[in-house]
Structure formats: C-alpha cells, structure tokens
Amino acid sequence: MSKPAERINMGDAKKQAISMIRSYDGPPVRIMEVCGTHTHELFRLGVRGILPEQVTLISGPGCPVCVTPPDFIDAAVWLALEKQVTITTFGDLVRVPGSRDSLASARGKGAKVEVVYSPQDACTYAKEHPEEDVVFLSVGFETTTPSSCLALEQAEREKISNFSLLTANKTMPEAYKMLQGSADIFLYPGHVNAIAGNAVCQQLCRQGISGVVTGFTAAEIVTAIAIALSKFKEGKPFFVNAYPRVVKDEGSPAAQALTDKYLEPCDTIWRGLGEIPGSGLRLKEEYASFDAYRRYAIPKMEGKTSPLCRCGEVLQGKCRPVDCKVFGKGCTPEHPIGACMVSGEGACSAYYQYGGVIK
C-alpha cells in the first residue's frame, strides 16, 4: 500500500529554502540524488511535489544492495549450499535474486543464513559457534566498510579463525566519473563524505562536475537543493558542502586508516554499470585467511539477471522505475525481480512505496 508523503513543515527555517526552490526560474536542470536514503527521504518528505516543472530529480546508484551484482549472490548461495558455510548478512540481501536462487530460496534447500545487524555481530556469532564456518557478506560504500574492518580487528584480536568476509565493497569516486553527463548536479551523500572527505568532489568540480553535499533532515535536503539551484543559475561548475556540521574536508582519517589497513582498491562490477576500474575494495594478501574468495576457492559464477529487469538503467538514471514494464505488476517488494525493488534504499522500492510518483 502506498505511503502518504509527509508535508514539509512550513513554519521553520526550511521556509526560505522551499520558497527559493519554488521560485526557481533558471534553465532546465537534472539533479541526481546519488544516495538511496536521499531517494526515500525525498519521497517521504514530499519534496518532489514542490519542484518547479524544469527541475527533475533522478535516482542514482548509491544503494549498496542494488549495485551488488548477481554473481555475488550466486557466490553466497554456492558457499551456503556447496560448502555448508553459515552466511551472515544484513536482511536486505537475503531476498535479492541471484541467477537461480536468492539466499531466501536457498534457505529452503538447506542453506543456513543468519541476519545480523553489524559485521561485529557476525564475528561474535562465529566466536559463539566455533563448529561453523561463518562468512559475512560485506557490501557497502565508504560509510559501512570501516565496520567490516572493525570485525576483522575483533577476529584478529580474539583469534576467531572460523570467520571470513565475502567482499563487494565499493567506493564512489570512479562511479561519479562514470555517471558524468547523467545529471547536471550531484546531491552527494553526506555520510560518504563524512568518511572520505571532500577532495574528490572538489576535483570533480574542477573537471566541470557540479555537486552539493547534504545531510538527511528535511532542512538539510531542501537547503542543499535550494543552494544547487541558485548556483546552477550562475552557469559555472560548483561544489558546496552544505553539511559542514558533519562533513570536514579531510573526512575521517581514523576510518580511512582502518580501511587502508585491511583493504586495497580493485576493479569491480556494479549491477547495471558494469565493471568500473578501481571502484572496489578487496582484502590485502596478508589477510587472505579472512577472504572467503580465496579461502573457499569460489569458482566463477553465472551472474544472470532477469531480462525483464531494468535496474541497470534505473541505477544510471537512464530510466525511472515506473518506466519498467513489470514495475508494481510482476515486480513488487513482496515478489521482487530486481535488487532495486528489494532494498530499503532502492529507487524502485521508493517509487512503489510512495505510489509510483512520476516526477
């Protein structure tokens, strides 16, 4: 059932930003909300409803579950069914379709799949179940990767040898470059910049790619859009950190150091975007014992998606979820065909939950 969008409170500091957005009289502009959380918040707050005709919001690829390719799910299913490994994962990944099975359907064939709330929970599960081989499905961007590394620290410290990671961690900079031209302005996810810092966005600006970093409250989101529209009218590339209370130029050196200790850049495949050189993270050689790919010699997986699914185009901002023929018919959150309908941050799920709003 569709959820009603909340009405933005007009009686506070957001009023000026909303008024600026409503009175925008510049050229047509496409703003890509890179982050899936922003997609959902934009719907929930009803922001699309206050945009002038010439302003279009496009959903981007910033949902970790959505961009995780099907061969990763196939590998997890293979580990569970062929190697009798216990898979620990965040809940969203359980229903993402692989080539044949999701982890949910693999459960019916005997797969052991435990939903956890953090990588540390997964590591603790491994400690408490020494008779099981436990693999955590490590997906996510700059924001969540350090917590997987914290779990590795715990495993090292407590000598937990039955724990490893199946990694599909990704970083945003190369994806931003690949998405150049998909939108006129990126709405950068504040939590990513809080870790990674602003240097990449500043560099992209020098290459002509405009963007504004924003937080997640209604005031922060509408303020960022108002700033973006006002700067766009000036006709020059811009970068604005509209989330300075959290995002510093240098990001979080401690989180960056933790990631750098265990992981190194690699080429990786994004669902829908294909392989993006240097946009993935894998375990360093010295931590190979924590790397499920090496530990279990995982073979190459099929990695097939449904021919009906347009997640790839949705993730690149090339089409809207409602343009997919099976949106809301064959594909619903209860019976998803693609990852974008499963995840709590997926664009198709957002459009579905909020009634297939077209703008």
Footprint on this chain of ligand SF4 (rule: CB under 6 A): 308-311, 314, 321, 324, 326-327, 331, 337-338, 340-341, 348
Three-state SS for 313?
Answer: helix
> 217: part of which helix (H) or strand (E)?
none
Are 149 and 262 contacting, i.e. CB atoms less than 8 angstroms apart?
yes
Q: Percentage helix, strand, coil, to 5, in the chain?
A: 40, 20, 40
Q: Nearest approach, Cβ of 303 to ligand SF4 (angstroms)?
A: 16
Q: Nearest approach, Cβ of 353 to ligand SF4 (angstroms)?
A: 12
Q: Nearest approach, Cβ of 354 to ligand SF4 (angstroms)?
A: 14
Q: Nearest approach, Cβ of 335 to ligand SF4 (angstroms)?
A: 10
Q: Strand pairing partners for 282?
A: 264
- Write the CA distances from 98 to 68, 159, 260, 272, 306, integer angstroms: 10, 33, 30, 14, 9
Q: Nearest approach, Cβ of 100 to ligand SF4 (angstroms)?
A: 17
Q: Nearest approach, Cβ of 338 to ligand SF4 (angstroms)?
A: 3
Q: Nearest approach, Cβ of 307 to ligand SF4 (angstroms)?
A: 10
Beta strands in the chain (DSSP E): 29-35, 55-62, 86-89, 113-115, 134-140, 163-169, 185-189, 210-214, 239-241, 263-270, 274-283
Residue nearest to ligand SF4 (CB): 338
Cα 337 to Cα 331: distance, rounded to the nearest angstrom: 5
Smaller CB distance to ligand SF4: residue 63 or 149?
A: 63
Smaller CB distance to ligand SF4: residue 282 or 320?
A: 320
User: Strand 55-62 to strand 134-140: parallel, antiparallel, or no bridges (unpaired)?
Assistant: unpaired
For 212, half-sphere exposure in the C-beta direction (CA atoms, 13 angstrom radius) is 24
Beta strands in 48-112 (DSSP E): 55-62, 86-89
CB atoms within 10 A of CB 9: 13
Smaller CB distance to ligand SF4: residue 133 or 345?
A: 345
